Amino acid sequence: MLYAATSARAKSSNFELWSWLFMRISGVALLLLVLIHLAIMHLFQPISNVTFDFVAGRWSIPAWRWYDLGLLWLALIHGMNGARIVSDDYIHGRVARLVTMTTLYVVGFVFLLVGSQVILSFQPTSTP
């Protein structure tokens, strides 16, 4: 029953092909985005430097907001899609699958929304 449903979807759409391609392309992009992020935030300065003022200064430059927004979207979609692929392999029960997939989609969507909102709406002057 479940196999039939899955293979019907596999035949009728290229979803898994696009998912595979996305993982490769976003993976290569993330290699640069994440390693630069790690180097700046964690390696070349003490973590105690990363304060409200530091982030405020960083986000006063629009390019860094776009950088962080790109990082958020690519990393979160890449990560949640990865979690979906892994769950797909190990979780077989109908109800368990429904619960897992719903959770992944809801959590992914909410974090994407909240994260984007925080990056785009941040105003250093309006907060105490």
Which residues would be at the binding site for another protein (CB under 8 A)?
3, 6-7, 10, 24, 27-28, 30-31, 34-35, 38, 42-48, 50-53, 55, 72, 75-76, 79-80, 82-83, 86, 89-90, 92, 107, 111, 114-115, 118, 121-122, 127-128
Residue whose CB is less far from another protein, 61 or 118: 118
HSE at residue 74, side-chain half, CA atoms within 13 A, is: 19
Smallest separation (angstroms) from another protein to the CB of 49: 8
Smallest separation (angstroms) from another protein to the CB of 1: 12
Smallest separation (angstroms) from another protein to the CB of 47: 5
Smallest separation (angstroms) from another protein to the CB of 29: 11
Residue whose CB is less far from another protein, 63 or 121: 121
The whole-angstrom separation of Cα 9 and Cα 58 is 45
| Residues 80 and 107: beta-carbon distance below 8 Å | yes
- Which of 128, 37, 122 has the alpha carbon at shortest distance from 74? 37
